[in-house]
């Protein structure tokens, strides 16, 4: 009888374990399935917030840093098209003036410009920007200005000034500009802040260590700021970006994975609010990010290191060819 009871107990225990494992497995499969459905809806079907929520067509302003080229220029143009007045900030006053005139003519919006070198630790420059912003109803801030390494390079071979510039532009300038604008957004209980991030911030990127670290900072900072400001009517999003055709990426030809700035910015503005405080809005970038979430991080880091070694090798060969051609001339 005792042996029979023991066997029955073991069988019962085995059944409980099997049922538990089956339930856990079903929950995992269901969770993955639901996340995949959510990914498909957010990436291909659903539309984001209407920009009117942030003051488009109501006299509000959009502020865009690094606005005379590439992604920043597209943000300024598409936000003007949506009905925002535009304040653009970059280094070259000549480029700013020409672009502001173009925006006024094309979209019949008001514009302001501010020439500033975001790599400089110049308190007077930010005081001047504060004066311009003081009486503006800013509905949108696009923290686009950024700096990367010229090419993938080992940390110890990068000049110290380059490390300092990356930190000053990607981190400190972003904080300083946001600090000027956020109080007004809170008082109006309306605002959108878009911080341009990078896959290099989501994945530790060897040979781009300081740039990668600066973008990782933006990810954490943006998500923390979003939690603070959301109850006060201000939305904050880190825009996770892979390669885009631009002078920074040094890529000139668009592909399915590497869009033109106009295509990329259109996808960002059409998906506002769908993915919370961390968004990968462009569809191929989203697919890549989703796939990477199932891959061990150690493998991704190793792959990234090998990729960057290859990019550096090709960049150095190109530099050698250009130097040889220049000597012939």
Going residue by residue through the chain, which has 329 residues, state the pLDDT in tens, using 9 for 90 and above.
555 566 466 556 666 676 666 666 666 667 667 766 776 776 777 788 999 999 999 999 999 999 999 999 999 999 999 999 999 999 999 999 999 999 999 999 999 999 999 999 999 999 999 999 999 999 999 999 999 999 999 999 999 999 999 999 999 999 999 999 999 999 999 999 999 999 999 999 999 999 999 999 999 999 999 999 999 999 999 999 999 998 778 888 899 999 999 999 999 999 999 988 999 999 999 999 999 999 999 999 999 999 999 999 999 999 999 988 888 86
**Joined tokens for residue 110:** 């008001």
**Joined tokens for residue 78:** 């598409």
Give catalytic status of residue 211 as yes or no: yes
Choose the catalytic residue: 54, 114, 211, 264.
211
> What pTM does this model have?
0.88
Give the model's pLDDT for residue 328: 80
Domain map of the chain by residue range?
Answer: 51-293
- The correct CATH number of 51-293 out of 3.40.50.720, 2.50.20.10, 3.40.50.11260, 3.60.21.10 is 3.40.50.720
CB count in 10 Å sphere of residue 305: 15
Phi, psi at residue 229, to the nearest 5°?
-90, -20
Give the model's pLDDT for residue 2: 58
* Burial letters 102-135, b for 16+ CB under 10 A, else e: ebeeebebebbbbbbebbeeeeebbeebeeebee
Give the model's pLDDT for residue 29: 65
Give the model's pLDDT for residue 3: 55
Q: Which residues are annotated as a binding site?
A: 198
Give the model's pLDDT for residue 26: 67
The beta strands (E) that lie in the chain are given as 61-65, 85-90, 111-115, 138-143, 191-196, 234-239, 278-279
Strand partners, 88: 64, 113
Q: Which residues are annotated as a binding site for substrate?
A: 198
């Amino acid at each position: 009888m005792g042996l029979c009871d023991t066997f029955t107990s073991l069988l019962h225990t085995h059944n409980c374990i099997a049922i538990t494992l089956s339930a856990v497995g079903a929950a995992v499969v269901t969770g993955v399935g639901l996340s995949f459905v959510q990914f498909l809806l957010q990436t291909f079907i659903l539309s984001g917030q209407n920009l009117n929520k942030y003051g488009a067509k109501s006299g509000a302003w959009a502020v865009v840093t690094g606005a005379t080229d590439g992604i920043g220029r597209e943000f300024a143009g598409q936000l003007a098209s949506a009905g925002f007045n535009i304040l653009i900030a970059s280094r070259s006053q000549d480029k700013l003036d020409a672009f502001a005139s173009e925006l006024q003519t094309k979209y019949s919006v008001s514009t302001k410009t501010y020439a500033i070198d975001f790599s400089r630790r110049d308190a007077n420059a930010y005081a001047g920007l504060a004066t311009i912003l003081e009486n503006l109803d800013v509905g949108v801030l696009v923290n686009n200005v950024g700096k990367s390494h010229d090419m993938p390079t080992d940390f110890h071979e990068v000049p110290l000034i380059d490390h300092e510039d990356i930190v000053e532009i990607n981190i400190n300038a972003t904080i300083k500009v946001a600090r000027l604008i956020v109080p007004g957004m809170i008082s109006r209980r309306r605002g959108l802040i878009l911080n341009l991030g990078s896959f290099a911030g989501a994945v530790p990127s060897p040979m781009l260590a300081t740039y990668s670290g600066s973008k990782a900072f933006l990810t954490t900072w943006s998500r923390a700021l979003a939690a603070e400001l959301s109850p006060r009517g201000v939305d904050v999003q880190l825009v996770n970006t892979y390669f885009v055709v631009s002078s920074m990426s040094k890529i000139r030809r668009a592909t399915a994975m590497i869009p033109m700035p106009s295509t990329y910015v259109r996808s960002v503005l059409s998906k506002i609010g769908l993915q919370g405080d961390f968004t990968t809005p462009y569809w191929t970038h989203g697919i890549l990010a989703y796939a990477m979430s199932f891959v061990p991080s150690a493998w991704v880091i190793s792959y990234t290191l090998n990729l960057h070694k290859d990019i550096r090798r090709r960049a150095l060969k190109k530099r050698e060819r250009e130097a040889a051609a220049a000597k012939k001339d």
